[in-house]
A and B are shown apart, each in its own frame.
Chain A
Amino acid sequence: MATAFLRTILLYAVLIVGIRVMGKRQIGELEPVELVLMLLISDLAVVPMQDFGIPLLNGVVPIVTLLSLSMLLSFFSMRSVRFHRLICGNPTTLIENGVIRQDALRRNRFTLDELLEELRAQGVTDLETVKYAVLETNGQLSVLLRPEEAPATPKQLGRSVRDDVWLPAILVNDGRVLGHALRDRGLDGAWLDRTLRARGFHSAREVLLLTIDGAGKVLCVGKEDRR
Protein backbone atom coordinates (compact mmCIF):
# COMPACT_ATOMS: atom_id res chain seq x y z
CA MET A 1 0.00 0.00 0.00
CA ALA A 2 2.82 2.38 0.87
CA THR A 3 4.39 1.66 -2.52
CA ALA A 4 1.13 2.45 -4.30
CA PHE A 5 0.76 5.64 -2.27
CA LEU A 6 4.27 6.91 -2.99
CA ARG A 7 4.23 5.81 -6.63
CA THR A 8 0.94 7.63 -7.17
CA ILE A 9 2.37 10.80 -5.66
CA LEU A 10 5.54 10.54 -7.74
CA LEU A 11 3.71 9.89 -11.02
CA TYR A 12 1.20 12.62 -10.25
CA ALA A 13 4.07 15.05 -9.62
CA VAL A 14 5.78 14.01 -12.87
CA LEU A 15 2.54 14.54 -14.81
CA ILE A 16 1.84 17.93 -13.22
CA VAL A 17 5.38 19.17 -13.87
CA GLY A 18 5.15 17.84 -17.43
CA ILE A 19 1.82 19.49 -18.15
CA ARG A 20 3.05 22.77 -16.62
CA VAL A 21 6.12 22.63 -18.84
CA MET A 22 3.88 22.01 -21.88
CA GLY A 23 2.07 25.30 -21.29
CA LYS A 24 -1.48 26.45 -20.71
CA ARG A 25 -2.77 25.60 -24.17
CA GLN A 26 -2.29 21.93 -23.35
CA ILE A 27 -4.99 22.10 -20.71
CA GLY A 28 -7.72 23.47 -22.94
CA GLU A 29 -7.91 22.90 -26.64
CA LEU A 30 -5.96 19.90 -27.81
CA GLU A 31 -4.29 19.59 -31.19
CA PRO A 32 -4.09 16.04 -32.59
CA VAL A 33 -0.51 15.62 -31.34
CA GLU A 34 -1.46 16.80 -27.89
CA LEU A 35 -4.53 14.58 -27.73
CA VAL A 36 -2.39 11.54 -28.55
CA LEU A 37 0.07 12.62 -25.86
CA MET A 38 -2.65 12.90 -23.23
CA LEU A 39 -4.13 9.51 -24.14
CA LEU A 40 -0.76 7.80 -23.92
CA ILE A 41 0.39 9.54 -20.76
CA SER A 42 -2.76 8.77 -18.82
CA ASP A 43 -2.40 5.08 -19.64
CA LEU A 44 1.33 4.96 -18.93
CA ALA A 45 0.90 6.54 -15.53
CA VAL A 46 -1.74 4.09 -14.35
CA VAL A 47 0.14 0.82 -15.00
CA PRO A 48 3.12 1.26 -12.62
CA MET A 49 0.79 2.90 -10.11
CA GLN A 50 -1.16 -0.32 -9.73
CA ASP A 51 1.31 -3.06 -10.64
CA PHE A 52 4.23 -3.15 -8.20
CA GLY A 53 5.92 -5.84 -10.30
CA ILE A 54 6.74 -3.19 -12.89
CA PRO A 55 9.59 -0.80 -12.06
CA LEU A 56 8.45 2.79 -11.58
CA LEU A 57 10.96 3.85 -14.23
CA ASN A 58 8.99 1.84 -16.81
CA GLY A 59 6.24 4.44 -16.36
CA VAL A 60 8.37 7.54 -15.78
CA VAL A 61 10.78 7.07 -18.69
CA PRO A 62 8.06 6.80 -21.40
CA ILE A 63 6.17 9.75 -19.89
CA VAL A 64 9.25 11.99 -19.79
CA THR A 65 10.18 10.80 -23.30
CA LEU A 66 6.72 11.66 -24.63
CA LEU A 67 6.73 15.08 -22.97
CA SER A 68 10.19 15.84 -24.36
CA LEU A 69 9.15 14.71 -27.84
CA SER A 70 6.05 16.84 -27.61
CA MET A 71 8.15 19.86 -26.63
CA LEU A 72 10.43 19.22 -29.60
CA LEU A 73 7.41 18.97 -31.93
CA SER A 74 6.12 22.27 -30.52
CA PHE A 75 9.53 23.85 -31.10
CA PHE A 76 9.68 22.69 -34.72
CA SER A 77 6.03 23.67 -35.26
CA MET A 78 6.84 27.19 -34.10
CA ARG A 79 9.85 27.30 -36.37
CA SER A 80 8.18 25.92 -39.49
CA VAL A 81 4.64 26.53 -40.72
CA ARG A 82 4.98 23.56 -43.08
CA PHE A 83 5.93 21.27 -40.19
CA HIS A 84 3.06 22.60 -38.10
CA ARG A 85 0.63 21.85 -40.95
CA LEU A 86 2.09 18.39 -41.37
CA ILE A 87 1.60 17.60 -37.68
CA CYS A 88 -1.61 19.49 -36.89
CA GLY A 89 -3.34 19.77 -40.27
CA ASN A 90 -5.05 22.85 -41.71
CA PRO A 91 -8.18 24.70 -40.63
CA THR A 92 -11.04 23.90 -43.04
CA THR A 93 -13.84 26.21 -44.10
CA LEU A 94 -17.12 24.30 -43.78
CA ILE A 95 -19.49 27.17 -44.56
CA GLU A 96 -18.73 30.08 -46.86
CA ASN A 97 -21.25 32.86 -47.45
CA GLY A 98 -24.05 30.73 -46.06
CA VAL A 99 -23.25 27.75 -48.29
CA ILE A 100 -22.16 24.44 -46.81
CA ARG A 101 -19.03 23.02 -48.44
CA GLN A 102 -20.11 19.41 -48.60
CA ASP A 103 -16.78 18.12 -49.89
CA ALA A 104 -15.05 19.68 -46.87
CA LEU A 105 -17.63 18.09 -44.57
CA ARG A 106 -16.97 14.68 -46.10
CA ARG A 107 -13.18 15.10 -46.02
CA ASN A 108 -13.30 15.88 -42.31
CA ARG A 109 -15.93 13.22 -41.56
CA PHE A 110 -18.04 15.98 -40.02
CA THR A 111 -21.72 15.13 -40.19
CA LEU A 112 -24.44 17.65 -40.95
CA ASP A 113 -25.93 16.99 -37.53
CA GLU A 114 -22.61 17.80 -35.86
CA LEU A 115 -22.31 21.00 -37.88
CA LEU A 116 -25.82 22.14 -36.98
CA GLU A 117 -25.22 21.23 -33.34
CA GLU A 118 -22.03 23.32 -33.26
CA LEU A 119 -23.84 26.24 -34.89
CA ARG A 120 -26.71 26.02 -32.40
CA ALA A 121 -24.19 25.94 -29.54
CA GLN A 122 -22.93 29.28 -30.82
CA GLY A 123 -26.43 30.73 -31.10
CA VAL A 124 -26.73 30.36 -34.86
CA THR A 125 -29.94 28.83 -36.23
CA ASP A 126 -29.93 30.28 -39.74
CA LEU A 127 -27.16 29.09 -42.05
CA GLU A 128 -27.72 32.12 -44.27
CA THR A 129 -26.41 34.38 -41.52
CA VAL A 130 -23.01 32.67 -41.48
CA LYS A 131 -20.21 34.29 -43.46
CA TYR A 132 -17.61 31.69 -42.54
CA ALA A 133 -17.60 28.58 -40.34
CA VAL A 134 -14.09 27.23 -39.96
CA LEU A 135 -13.20 23.86 -38.44
CA GLU A 136 -10.01 24.57 -36.50
CA THR A 137 -7.19 22.06 -36.09
CA ASN A 138 -8.20 21.48 -32.46
CA GLY A 139 -11.69 20.41 -33.58
CA GLN A 140 -13.49 23.61 -32.59
CA LEU A 141 -15.78 25.38 -35.01
CA SER A 142 -15.20 29.11 -35.38
CA VAL A 143 -18.29 30.91 -36.68
CA LEU A 144 -18.12 34.39 -38.22
CA LEU A 145 -21.49 35.99 -38.96
CA ARG A 146 -22.21 38.24 -41.91
CA PRO A 147 -21.58 41.89 -40.93
CA GLU A 148 -25.30 42.71 -41.10
CA GLU A 149 -26.04 39.85 -38.67
CA ALA A 150 -23.22 40.46 -36.20
CA PRO A 151 -23.63 42.82 -33.23
CA ALA A 152 -22.45 46.28 -34.22
CA THR A 153 -19.41 47.67 -32.46
CA PRO A 154 -19.14 51.33 -31.38
CA LYS A 155 -16.43 51.71 -34.02
CA GLN A 156 -18.80 50.51 -36.74
CA LEU A 157 -21.40 52.95 -35.44
CA GLY A 158 -18.87 55.77 -35.49
CA ARG A 159 -19.12 56.29 -31.72
CA SER A 160 -16.21 57.01 -29.43
CA VAL A 161 -16.07 55.15 -26.15
CA ARG A 162 -14.15 55.76 -22.94
CA ASP A 163 -11.55 53.15 -22.14
CA ASP A 164 -12.69 52.08 -18.69
CA VAL A 165 -11.72 48.43 -18.77
CA TRP A 166 -9.09 47.64 -16.16
CA LEU A 167 -7.58 44.43 -14.99
CA PRO A 168 -8.09 44.22 -11.22
CA ALA A 169 -5.14 43.17 -9.07
CA ILE A 170 -5.86 40.89 -6.11
CA LEU A 171 -4.38 42.38 -2.92
CA VAL A 172 -6.02 40.07 -0.34
CA ASN A 173 -6.91 36.50 -1.15
CA ASP A 174 -8.88 34.60 1.51
CA GLY A 175 -7.28 36.54 4.36
CA ARG A 176 -3.76 36.47 2.90
CA VAL A 177 -2.12 39.76 1.90
CA LEU A 178 -0.32 39.50 -1.45
CA GLY A 179 2.65 41.76 -0.74
CA HIS A 180 4.06 41.68 -4.27
CA ALA A 181 0.70 42.81 -5.70
CA LEU A 182 0.63 45.72 -3.22
CA ARG A 183 4.16 46.74 -4.15
CA ASP A 184 3.41 46.40 -7.90
CA ARG A 185 0.63 48.97 -7.47
CA GLY A 186 2.89 51.26 -5.43
CA LEU A 187 0.83 50.64 -2.27
CA ASP A 188 1.89 49.66 1.24
CA GLY A 189 0.62 48.21 4.51
CA ALA A 190 -0.51 51.59 5.79
CA TRP A 191 -2.74 52.08 2.73
CA LEU A 192 -4.15 48.59 3.22
CA ASP A 193 -4.92 49.26 6.92
CA ARG A 194 -6.67 52.54 6.08
CA THR A 195 -8.68 50.88 3.30
CA LEU A 196 -9.75 48.00 5.51
CA ARG A 197 -10.69 50.24 8.48
CA ALA A 198 -12.73 52.47 6.19
CA ARG A 199 -14.78 49.37 5.30
CA GLY A 200 -15.21 48.19 8.88
CA PHE A 201 -12.50 45.51 8.96
CA HIS A 202 -9.82 45.22 11.63
CA SER A 203 -7.36 43.05 9.68
CA ALA A 204 -6.85 41.37 6.33
CA ARG A 205 -7.72 38.02 7.95
CA GLU A 206 -11.38 39.14 7.98
CA VAL A 207 -11.36 39.77 4.21
CA LEU A 208 -12.16 37.18 1.56
CA LEU A 209 -11.20 39.31 -1.43
CA LEU A 210 -9.73 42.76 -1.92
CA THR A 211 -8.93 44.01 -5.39
CA ILE A 212 -7.96 47.31 -6.95
CA ASP A 213 -8.20 48.14 -10.63
CA GLY A 214 -6.18 50.51 -12.79
CA ALA A 215 -8.57 53.38 -12.05
CA GLY A 216 -8.09 52.90 -8.29
CA LYS A 217 -11.51 51.36 -7.71
CA VAL A 218 -11.41 49.04 -4.71
CA LEU A 219 -13.59 45.96 -4.29
CA CYS A 220 -13.69 44.48 -0.80
CA VAL A 221 -15.60 41.32 0.17
CA GLY A 222 -15.54 40.24 3.84
CA LYS A 223 -15.58 36.69 5.10
CA GLU A 224 -18.97 35.46 6.25
CA ASP A 225 -17.57 34.02 9.50
CA ARG A 226 -15.27 36.92 10.40
CA ARG A 227 -17.05 37.70 13.64
Chain B
Amino acid sequence: MKYFLIPAAVLALLLGAALRSASAVSGAAEPWRAALAEAADAAEREDWDGAARLVRDTRADWDAHRALLHIVTAHDELEAADALFIAAESFAAERDAAEFRAAAAQLDAQLRIVAEVQALTLRNLL
Protein backbone atom coordinates (compact mmCIF):
# COMPACT_ATOMS: atom_id res chain seq x y z
CA MET B 1 0.00 0.00 0.00
CA LYS B 2 2.97 2.32 0.55
CA TYR B 3 3.53 2.30 -3.24
CA PHE B 4 0.19 4.07 -3.46
CA LEU B 5 0.34 6.19 -0.33
CA ILE B 6 3.80 7.72 -0.86
CA PRO B 7 3.22 9.12 -4.38
CA ALA B 8 -0.35 10.09 -3.47
CA ALA B 9 0.96 11.96 -0.43
CA VAL B 10 3.67 13.66 -2.49
CA LEU B 11 1.09 14.78 -5.07
CA ALA B 12 -1.24 16.03 -2.34
CA LEU B 13 1.66 17.88 -0.72
CA LEU B 14 2.66 19.52 -4.01
CA LEU B 15 -0.92 20.51 -4.78
CA GLY B 16 -1.32 21.93 -1.27
CA ALA B 17 1.95 23.87 -1.52
CA ALA B 18 0.99 25.21 -4.97
CA LEU B 19 -2.42 26.37 -3.76
CA ARG B 20 -0.89 27.85 -0.60
CA SER B 21 1.73 29.80 -2.57
CA ALA B 22 -0.91 31.04 -5.04
CA SER B 23 -3.09 32.21 -2.18
CA ALA B 24 -0.11 33.84 -0.40
CA VAL B 25 0.91 35.77 -3.53
CA SER B 26 -2.61 36.86 -4.43
CA GLY B 27 -3.34 37.69 -0.77
CA ALA B 28 -0.27 39.92 -0.69
CA ALA B 29 -0.94 41.52 -4.07
CA GLU B 30 -4.45 42.71 -3.15
CA PRO B 31 -3.30 45.23 -0.48
CA TRP B 32 -0.44 46.36 -2.76
CA ARG B 33 -2.87 47.14 -5.56
CA ALA B 34 -5.28 48.87 -3.15
CA ALA B 35 -2.42 51.00 -1.78
CA LEU B 36 -1.38 51.96 -5.32
CA ALA B 37 -4.96 53.02 -6.13
CA GLU B 38 -4.93 55.06 -2.91
CA ALA B 39 -1.59 56.60 -3.94
CA ALA B 40 -3.06 57.55 -7.33
CA ASP B 41 -6.02 59.21 -5.55
CA ALA B 42 -3.61 61.08 -3.25
CA ALA B 43 -1.68 62.29 -6.29
CA GLU B 44 -4.95 63.49 -7.84
CA ARG B 45 -5.51 65.54 -4.67
CA GLU B 46 -1.93 66.88 -4.99
CA ASP B 47 -1.04 65.05 -1.75
CA TRP B 48 2.40 64.06 -3.05
CA ASP B 49 3.84 63.27 0.37
CA GLY B 50 0.98 60.85 0.98
CA ALA B 51 1.36 59.30 -2.49
CA ALA B 52 5.13 58.87 -2.07
CA ARG B 53 4.68 57.33 1.41
CA LEU B 54 2.09 54.83 0.12
CA VAL B 55 4.34 53.75 -2.76
CA ARG B 56 7.33 53.49 -0.41
CA ASP B 57 5.39 51.40 2.13
CA THR B 58 4.02 49.16 -0.61
CA ARG B 59 7.50 48.62 -1.97
CA ALA B 60 8.77 47.77 1.52
CA ASP B 61 6.04 45.14 1.88
CA TRP B 62 6.82 43.87 -1.64
CA ASP B 63 10.47 43.52 -0.61
CA ALA B 64 9.41 41.61 2.51
CA HIS B 65 7.74 39.02 0.24
CA ARG B 66 10.71 38.87 -2.13
CA ALA B 67 11.96 35.45 -1.00
CA LEU B 68 8.62 33.74 -1.65
CA LEU B 69 8.15 35.60 -4.94
CA HIS B 70 11.64 34.70 -6.11
CA ILE B 71 11.01 31.01 -5.41
CA VAL B 72 7.65 30.77 -7.18
CA THR B 73 7.60 33.47 -9.88
CA ALA B 74 9.60 34.00 -13.06
CA HIS B 75 12.30 36.55 -12.21
CA ASP B 76 11.53 38.68 -15.30
CA GLU B 77 8.11 39.53 -13.87
CA LEU B 78 9.64 40.56 -10.54
CA GLU B 79 12.30 42.70 -12.18
CA ALA B 80 9.65 44.48 -14.24
CA ALA B 81 7.65 45.25 -11.07
CA ASP B 82 10.85 46.42 -9.31
CA ALA B 83 11.57 48.87 -12.13
CA LEU B 84 8.00 50.19 -12.01
CA PHE B 85 8.17 50.68 -8.21
CA ILE B 86 11.35 52.74 -8.66
CA ALA B 87 9.73 54.77 -11.46
CA ALA B 88 6.56 55.43 -9.42
CA GLU B 89 8.62 56.52 -6.41
CA SER B 90 10.73 58.92 -8.46
CA PHE B 91 7.69 60.45 -10.26
CA ALA B 92 6.00 60.93 -6.87
CA ALA B 93 9.14 62.69 -5.61
CA GLU B 94 9.17 64.89 -8.73
CA ARG B 95 5.39 65.48 -8.36
CA ASP B 96 4.85 64.61 -12.03
CA ALA B 97 1.14 63.71 -12.07
CA ALA B 98 0.89 62.30 -15.61
CA GLU B 99 4.00 60.13 -15.37
CA PHE B 100 3.04 58.99 -11.86
CA ARG B 101 -0.45 57.96 -13.01
CA ALA B 102 1.05 55.99 -15.92
CA ALA B 103 3.69 54.29 -13.74
CA ALA B 104 1.12 53.45 -11.04
CA ALA B 105 -1.25 51.97 -13.64
CA GLN B 106 1.56 49.87 -15.17
CA LEU B 107 2.68 48.73 -11.73
CA ASP B 108 -0.89 47.76 -10.85
CA ALA B 109 -1.11 45.71 -14.04
CA GLN B 110 2.26 44.08 -13.33
CA LEU B 111 1.24 43.13 -9.78
CA ARG B 112 -2.00 41.70 -11.14
CA ILE B 113 0.04 39.56 -13.56
CA VAL B 114 2.34 38.34 -10.76
CA ALA B 115 -0.68 37.26 -8.72
CA GLU B 116 -2.65 35.86 -11.65
CA VAL B 117 0.18 33.68 -12.95
CA GLN B 118 0.14 31.74 -9.67
CA ALA B 119 -3.63 31.34 -9.49
CA LEU B 120 -5.19 27.97 -10.28
CA THR B 121 -7.71 29.09 -12.88
CA LEU B 122 -9.08 27.54 -16.04
CA ARG B 123 -7.59 30.41 -18.05
CA ASN B 124 -4.11 29.68 -16.72
CA LEU B 125 -4.57 25.95 -17.29
CA LEU B 126 -5.50 26.48 -20.90
Interface residues in A64-92 by Cβ distance below 8 A to B read 64-65, 67-69, 71-72, 74-75, 78
Q: Closest B-chain residue to A52, C-beta based?
A: B75
Indicate if the CB atoms of A65 and B11 lie closer than 8 Å.
yes
* A67 proximity list for chain B (CB < 8 A): 7
* A75 proximity list for chain B (CB < 8 A): 3-4, 7
How many chain-A residues does the 8 Å CB contact rule pick out? 18
Interface residue? B73 (CB, 8 A): yes
* B73 proximity list for chain A (CB < 8 A): 55
Between B3, B73, B75, the greatest number of chain A beta carbons within 10 A of the residue's beta carbon is seen for B3
> Which of these, A52, A69, A78, contacts B11 with CB under 8 Å?
A69
Shortest beta-carbon distance, B3 to chain A, in Å?
Answer: 5
Indicate if the CB atoms of A71 and B75 lie closer than 8 Å.
no
Indicate if the CB atoms of A54 and B10 lie closer than 8 Å.
no
Shortest beta-carbon distance, B37 to chain A, in Å?
Answer: 29
B1-45 vs A, Cβ < 8 Å mask (1 yes, 0 no): 001101110110010001000000000000000000000000000
Interface residues in B48-86 by Cβ distance below 8 A to A read 70-76
Indicate if the CB atoms of A64 and B14 lie closer than 8 Å.
yes
* B4 proximity list for chain A (CB < 8 A): 72, 75
Interface residue? A215 (CB, 8 A): no
Per the bound structure, the CA–CA distance linking A136 and B71 in Å amounts to: 44
Q: Closest B-chain residue to A79, C-beta based?
A: B4
> Which of these, B3, B7, B11, B71, contacts A57 with CB under 8 Å?
B71
Shortest beta-carbon distance, A101 to chain B, in Å?
Answer: 36
Shortest beta-carbon distance, B103 to chain A, in Å?
Answer: 23
Indicate if the CB atoms of B10 and A57 lie closer than 8 Å.
no
Shortest beta-carbon distance, B7 to chain A, in Å?
Answer: 4
* B6 proximity list for chain A (CB < 8 A): 71
Indicate if the CB atoms of A74 and B70 lie closer than 8 Å.
no
Interface residue? A61 (CB, 8 A): yes
Shortest beta-carbon distance, A147 to chain B, in Å?
Answer: 40
> Which of these, B7, B75, B76, contacts A72 with CB under 8 Å?
B7
Shortest beta-carbon distance, B107 to chain A, in Å?
Answer: 20
> Which of these, A54, A58, A61, A71, contacts B7 with CB under 8 Å?
A71
Q: Closest B-chain residue to A54, C-beta based?
A: B74
Q: Closest B-chain residue to A61, C-beta based?
A: B14
* A58 proximity list for chain B (CB < 8 A): 74
Indicate if the CB atoms of B10 and A64 lie closer than 8 Å.
yes
Per the bound structure, the CA–CA distance linking A107 and B41 in Å amounts to: 70
The residues of A with any CB-CB pair to B shorter than 8 Å are: 52-58, 61, 64-65, 67-69, 71-72, 74-75, 78
The 6 closest A-B pairs by CB, nearest first: A68-B7, A71-B7, A53-B75, A68-B10, A75-B3, A75-B4
The residues of B with any CB-CB pair to A shorter than 8 Å are: 3-4, 6-8, 10-11, 14, 18, 70-76
New A-B pairs, 12, CB < 8 Å, besides A68-B14, A71-B6: A53-B75, A55-B70, A55-B75, A56-B71, A57-B71, A57-B72, A65-B11, A67-B7, A68-B10, A68-B11, A74-B3, A75-B4
